[in-house]
Chains A and B, each alone.
Chain A
Amino acid sequence: DTGVSQDPRHKITKRGQNVTFRCDPISEHNRLYWYRQTLGQGPEFLTYFQNEAQLEKSRLLSDRFSAERPKGSFSTLEIQRTEQGDSAMYLCASSLAQLTLTDTQYFGPGTRLTVL
């Protein structure tokens, strides 16, 4: 399968613990996105990378959240001092930038985080 992969698929943690998620984009894609999806809602944009550069962060991404994309390949999303309100599905997407067309974002299956 050459789609976007995310690991782990499920994570249960206690409040106050740190968690880290990994996203492996489609290999030739230079753009990578993180979204958060809560129950009954659509995905909400968190942040966006072009190659290794993080170009935008949503105000939803508090100081407890940090995302990296070293070498412009895989990306990690870390949440420090987790809170119950962080419980959600964290989705990663990737796309190939194109000069004249809107690039299609391909989503991974997500990591479901439950904070107890």
Chain B
Amino acid sequence: QQQVKQSPQSLIVQKGGISIINCAYENTAFDYFPWYQQFPGKGPALLIAIRPDVSEKKEGRFTISFNKSAKQFSLHIMDSQPGDSATYFCAASQNSGGSNYKLTFGKGTLLTVNP
């Protein structure tokens, strides 16, 4: 059972455009939702994260929108740049023993930003 569903699988955007990646989750106990960016040959790196007590979080060109009732969250990359070309993973975790330690990842979205 896939607990975090991510779409699209791949995305091609022109430089300066907006990239949007969507995720949906099933486990209502999830209470931490990070996005990770992974370049070829590298491990995933945390990009931005949100908790369900807010509906939106913005850091620079990256914004997470969160819809608790729909159990969905999305990543928006404004003014996309060729350097943003990477694989993006959404993830979720629930608090267990006072810690959100076990991340459940989506399958990833390969983003290509054309110059």
* A interface residues with partner B (beta carbon < 8 Å): 4, 31, 33, 35, 40-45, 48, 56, 91, 93, 95, 97, 102-110
Contacts and interface: CB of A to CB of B under 8 A. Distances in A.
State the 9 A-B residue pairs at the shortest beta-carbon distance, nearest first: A42-B105, A107-B43, A102-B100, A42-B89, A45-B102, A107-B44, A108-B43, A102-B32, A109-B43
Contacts of B100: 102-103
B72 interface: no
Interface in B36-81: 36, 41-46, 49, 51
Given A40-B108, A42-B89, A43-B105, 8 more contacts: A33-B101, A42-B106, A45-B104, A91-B44, A102-B99, A104-B34, A104-B49, A109-B43
A39 to B, nearest CB: 10
Contacts, number: 59
B101 A91 contact: no
B103 interface: yes
Interface of B: 4, 6, 32, 34, 36, 41-46, 49, 51, 89, 91, 93, 99-108
A25 to B, nearest CB: 12
Contacts of B45: 106-107
Contacts of B108: 40-42
Nearest to B32: A102
Contacts of A104: 34, 46, 49
B103 A43 contact: yes
A93 B102 contact: no
Contact of A102 (B49, B89, B106, B107): B49
A108 B38 CA distance: 11
Contacts of A43: 44, 89, 103, 105
A110 B42 CA distance: 7
A41 B43 contact: no
Given A107-B43, A109-B41, A109-B43, A45 B99 contact: no
